[in-house]
Structure 1
Amino acid sequence: MSALTTTADGFTLRGEPFRIISGALHYFRVHPGQWADRLRKARLMGLNTVETYVPWNLHQPAPGTLDLEGLLDLPRYLRLAQEEGLHVLLRPGPYICAEWDGGGLPAWLTSDRDIRLRSSDPRFTDAIDGYFDLLLPELAPFMAAAGGPVIAVQVENEYGAYGNDAAYLKHLEQGLRRRGVEELLFTCDQADPAHLEAGSIPGVLATGTFGGKIGQSLERLRAHQPQGPLMCTEFWIGWFDHWGEPHHVRSADDAAASLETLLAAGASVNIYMFHGGTNFAFTNGANHDHAYSPVVTSYDYDAPLAESGDPSPKYHAFREVIARHAPVPDEPVPAPSPKLPPTTVTLDRRTPLLDRAGELGVPVHSREPLTMEAMGLRAGFVLYRTTLPTAGDGVLHFTHGVGDRAQVFVDGAPAGVLEHEHHQESLTVRAPRAGARLDVLVENMGGVNYGPRIGDDKGLLGPVSFDGVVLREWDAHPLALNDLAPLADATPDATRAGPAFHHGTFHVDTPADTFLALPGWTKGQAWINGFNLGRYWNRGPQRTLYVPAPALRAGANELVLLELDATVTSRALLTDTPDLGVEKI
């Protein structure tokens, strides 16, 4: 029996009136060494609940597998939440959106173009069933029915904005129940009558997602669902950023005023986000409206708890609002975390990528270029290699373009860049000789996470021709870059152009949070002690990468940058202040 139940206008928890005051805190966007800290700060702001999505694509990298290690140790996260006295809203998808790579749907599934995603297509529901068969037994001890912290579970996610397959939603509802989930089930949709209608399930609590127009949104929710709790499952208090845009913020006063209106109406709330965290490694998503737009590495979201875990003005403002409607712990607000003293890192060793790609990924030979998905690569890069048939100038044409950014080299010399977001498919190159080597380094910048283009292919998307002659016989090197051990023999090299791994060491007395600033560097990926911090790009808005203290160690530390273009310096800076770019209010 569910511990959390509904009344005509609210919730009861184990028979007592209860209002959900929750905040989103995605375990997979926070270093595991900092989960306890972030959960404590959630409680101290006055939250009684935290919410998290569950990213299918990371937990199940291949059919029949389940990864619950490290950053994906969801059972440990749930245990820590319970130890902190917090309840949990669990949102297992299968689709999560979340500005997350592919909306959380695994590439091994979305690469099958015959499958109708997010539908009652048996090929899709069979895959979900296989995943839930492995995941849900692991989570059973953490359900409220077993004395755990999970008091409610979401079915799908904003489905009304995507489809209207009632049989699909029913399959998910019944599948959760069959696997022992007794807790309250809920759906969430944008507060639009059509979305609420298409995304709801009879007998399942419908909730809304909105950041403003509180009164109107609650009225629409009540019109759709005449009885039951009013709940905003995503109360948007900030926003996310794309590369090349300003940094989005929302004033603390404005967000707090909307929170006051929401709570004064008697509604329950989940603040999205309480703490945004970081899209570490290759996990960011992308949007595709008129053009492809990838999301940046930081998922700070202008949240009450900043990316580095420091309380922001919004934290203090929200705490004051919550205190007018619910008990808030009589404990001091946490102070900002210690920061590493400013440190300069000299990157004095270099490993050229084009020369060493064979050591980082087993080459795949094909007559025509294969997509990343066809090679079983979820994220990262592919280096495609073939030869040009003739000498001289010619137009290199990529049928159907590239996904998502391609750097072209002829006999190792840079020849141009093509970007998906600019719909580029051709460029003029010069072949110094017949048989010149053509290298095309393609970066997957993040899978679309919203709308009909989820699962779009990455890599080279069709045949490639040079002056009308189709190029055949390709060697492709998939570069997941999960292990940089083959590059341990990097040597001193003053060259600063061309894709290469740049290595440097620095000393730390006491590990503490810091921010990696890269003035003079262009675009690439950064690792500290093998921990993938994410992408950097001088396009902005983001100018620093967050470095969590647990990624550092006392003594010697190693910084590795994969610089894709060129740098004018051999130095990087560790600073005590984040720079997420010029703000757009």
Structure 2
Amino acid sequence: MAEFAIGDADFLLDGRPFRILSGALHYFRVHPDLWADRIDKARRMGLNTVETYVPWNAHAPERGTFDLDGGLDLDRFLRLVAEAGMHAIVRPGPYICAEWDNGGLPTWLLRDPDVGVRAYEPRYLDAVREYLDQVYRVVVPHQVDRGGPVLLVQIENEYGAYGSDQRYLAELTRHTRAAGITVPLTTVDQPLDDMLAAGSIDGLHRTASFGSRAAERLAVLRAQQPTGPLMCSEFWCGWFDHWGAHHHTTSVEESAAELDALLAAGASVNIYMFHGGTNFGLTNGANDKGTYQPIVTSYDYDAPLDEAGNPTAKYHAFRDVIARYHKVPDSVPPPARPLPTPSTSLHEPISLLETPGAWETHDQLPAFDDLAPIPQLALARTRIDGEGPGVLVFGEIRDRVTVFLDGVRLGTLLREHHDQAIALPLTAGELTLLIEDLGRVDYGPRIGEPKGVIGGVHLHGRMLTDWEVRPIDTATLPDRYRGTTDGAEANGPLAGPVLVRGRLTVTESTDLFLDTAVWGKGLVWINGFLLGRYWRRGPQRTLYVPAPVVRAGANDVVVLELDTMPDPVVRCAPHALLGHTEA
């Protein structure tokens, strides 16, 4: 048992000054069999604490459920932190941002447009209390005053950038205490006077988020909070990437210098990210500040520990900085080694338009959020009976729609291009739409907006009706091949949407990087595990495959190509290829 408290100038562990040297490591972005490895590498960099968000939507995809299995086993993660001799910070939101789909808020929560998001609103707060109760059942026994690793729990997340509802923050605080959380509670905001004032209340310890001008920003924090320890609880040492943009990196020397300035000022720190990991599956978020920008599958973040868990130059530079102020372990992790580069051809193309599945009938074309469960990929079809050419006009595309007429692909519309219409050479036949949610906005006022086609589809000024809709369950798509054997190779280029499969052989379980450069756009599964999205527009070119997913011998690869695949071959790269940088 230990006591952790906030003193006049320092954090106090059993009455003695304690500096938090933390690194962000999201358990939900790392395969659970690799948690212990990543935690140990944080310790060997000189950190004494691991911080994580908790993603509400991952744990509770439907109301009344709360998944704590496998990669969502927060209890196991905290036990591993403790076993490594480390402390922990838990940030349950309920909103987390984190470049995560919908900022962590579950889609079912927002089916009712009158629910007041991130505000003192009864329906929203009822759901939040249910969620926090589930999280705190796990966290309470792991608090430091009960012999566990947890030092701090955060209330909300950068709330001053969103709102200023003090009753809301007070209710989150009250419920957190009532649920048994006894460790100090914190908030985090960018170091601007208005945000720091709006994003916290008395009784919560304010911390800041920034990646540069440390001395200046700590001074702003101190002006808002005259006593207590200074802490940058999101020290941004890298950044995230959007599809169609460049790969973000930050200077090792400049980041190390800013970390040095923080520690020289006596501040505590949480490095965001220490290890970014991967947006496995369909979990990436998006930004929209006038133009919609979906986030890539990799969350490498140019962090000290790269996407595959290898130390970078930044790792060693940060370790050297920390060593000036605190003792660090003697050993460091080994450098990265080139990974195997097996390849295999892809076989047995199956058109997604022709695969069996249940179709639902709807008079009007529904938005995704009108369906249950809410899909992220769906087919919709109706018959049109016009004469001559025409123009198909959509209300709003969220986020990608490919149009087929009698099975012939006519084109694709993208939200980020503000596309709204497509020409039809004929207006008679079966019209099919392939609709894709590319990731829900995770920051700002567009959080919680519905997905799919919003406002229906018009032809010749008339709303199209009598739709059949087939939500695509991505979890079951690889099962289409269960019990089959390798058939004919997919010779030559493929036009999507098409499922293809292959068997990738390796001599031992190992990390891999799939090289998707000559594919178009789609999803990949290895042994039934959904790695995530690929897209030829980049910048990301490789998909990380964690070793626990890979078997010695043959490994089943299933690819859903939604666009075109000029070369249907699986290839691997010896290391990550995350794209061109701004420089």
The TM-score, its normalising length taken from structure 2, stands at 0.97
Question: Residues 30-429 of structure 1 correspond to what in structure 2 (within 5 A)?
Answer: 30-330=30-330, 332-336=331-335, 339-356=338-355, 358-359=356-357, 362-399=358-395, 401-429=396-424
Write the distance in 1 (CA, Å) between the matches of 2:473 and 2:166.
Answer: 38
Q: Offset at 1:350?
A: 1.4
Q: Offset at 1:12?
A: 0.8
Write the distance in 1 (CA, Å) between the matches of 2:111 and 2:105.
Answer: 10
1:447 aligns with 2:440: yes
Q: Offset at 1:283?
A: 0.3
Segment of structure 1 superposing worse, 506-515 or 259-268:
506-515
Write the distance in 2 (CA, Å) between the matches of 1:527 and 1:561.
Answer: 6
Segment of structure 1 superposing worse, 250-259 or 510-519:
510-519
Segment of structure 1 superposing worse, 501-510 or 43-52:
501-510
**8 Å contact 1:102–1:449 — kept in the other structure?**
yes
Segment of structure 1 superposing worse, 256-265 or 371-380:
371-380
- Aligned partner of residue 565 in structure 2, secondary structure: coil
Please list the CA deviations of residues 426-471 of structure 1 after superposition, one character each: whole Å capped at 9, or x if unmatched.
1101237x3x111100111000000000011111112211222221
- Residue of structure 2 equivalent to 1:534: 532
- Residue of structure 2 equivalent to 1:546: 544
Write the distance in 2 (CA, Å) between the matches of 1:582 and 1:279.
Answer: 20
**8 Å contact 2:92–2:135 — kept in the other structure?**
no
Please list the CA deviations of residues 466-519 of structure 1 after superposition, one character each: whole Å capped at 9, or x if unmatched.
222221111111113112213434853546112011100021111111110023
Please list the CA deviations of residues 12-63 of structure 1 after superposition, one character each: whole Å capped at 9, or x if unmatched.
1122220000000000000111111100000000000010000000111111
Please list the CA deviations of residues 551-572 of structure 1 after superposition, one character each: whole Å capped at 9, or x if unmatched.
1001110111110011111212
- Residue of structure 2 equivalent to 1:463: 456
Write the distance in 1 (CA, Å) between the matches of 2:463 and 2:388.
Answer: 16
**8 Å contact 2:342–2:506 — kept in the other structure?**
no
Write the distance in 1 (CA, Å) between the matches of 2:104 and 2:460.
Answer: 40
Q: Offset at 1:339?
A: 5.0
Letter in 2 for 1:103: G
Alpha-carbon RMSD: 1.4
Segment of structure 1 superposing worse, 130-139 or 174-183:
130-139
Write the distance in 2 (CA, Å) between the matches of 1:243 and 1:379.
Answer: 21
Write the distance in 2 (CA, Å) between the matches of 1:3 and 1:581.
Answer: 47
- Number of aligned positions between the proteins: 578
Write the distance in 1 (CA, Å) between the matches of 2:530 and 2:541.
Answer: 17
Write the distance in 1 (CA, Å) between the matches of 2:497 and 2:93.
Answer: 37
**8 Å contact 1:377–1:480 — kept in the other structure?**
no
Write the distance in 2 (CA, Å) between the matches of 1:407 and 1:186.
Answer: 46
Letter in 2 for 1:556: A
Letter in 1 for 2:352: L
- Aligned partner of residue 392 in structure 1, secondary structure: coil
Write the distance in 2 (CA, Å) between the matches of 1:255 and 1:96.
Answer: 24
- Aligned partner of residue 208 in structure 1, secondary structure: strand
Letter in 1 for 2:439: G
Letter in 1 for 2:90: L
Q: Offset at 1:337?
A: 5.1
Please list the CA deviations of residues 297-356 of structure 1 after superposition, one character each: whole Å capped at 9, or x if unmatched.
1100000000000000000000000001111012x2111355542111211221110111
Letter in 1 for 2:274: F
**8 Å contact 1:339–1:512 — kept in the other structure?**
no
- Residue of structure 2 equivalent to 1:482: 475
The TM-score, its normalising length taken from structure 1, stands at 0.97
Letter in 2 for 1:66: F
**8 Å contact 1:340–1:511 — kept in the other structure?**
no
Unaligned runs of 5+ in 1: none
- Aligned partner of residue 388 in structure 1, secondary structure: strand
Letter in 1 for 2:345: T
- Aligned partner of residue 314 in structure 2, secondary structure: helix
**8 Å contact 1:519–1:572 — kept in the other structure?**
no
Letter in 2 for 1:9: A
Q: Offset at 1:161?
A: 0.2
- Aligned partner of residue 103 in structure 1, secondary structure: helix
**8 Å contact 2:2–2:147 — kept in the other structure?**
no
Letter in 2 for 1:225: Q
- Aligned partner of residue 248 in structure 1, secondary structure: coil
Q: Offset at 1:3?
A: 2.5
Question: Residues 495-514 of structure 1 correspond to what in structure 2 (within 5 A)?
Answer: 496-514=494-512
Write the distance in 2 (CA, Å) between the matches of 1:457 and 1:336.
Answer: 44
Unaligned runs of 5+ in 2: none
Segment of structure 1 superposing worse, 18-27 or 494-503:
494-503
**8 Å contact 2:74–2:138 — kept in the other structure?**
no
- 1:379/1:71 CA distance change after superposition, 3 Å: farther
Q: Offset at 1:133?
A: 2.3
- Aligned partner of residue 261 in structure 1, secondary structure: helix
Q: Offset at 1:575?
A: 1.7
- Aligned partner of residue 572 in structure 1, secondary structure: strand
- Aligned partner of residue 297 in structure 2, secondary structure: coil
- Aligned partner of residue 583 in structure 1, secondary structure: coil
Write the distance in 2 (CA, Å) between the matches of 1:512 and 1:337.
Answer: 13
- 1:89/1:405 CA distance change after superposition, 3 Å: same
Letter in 1 for 2:445: P
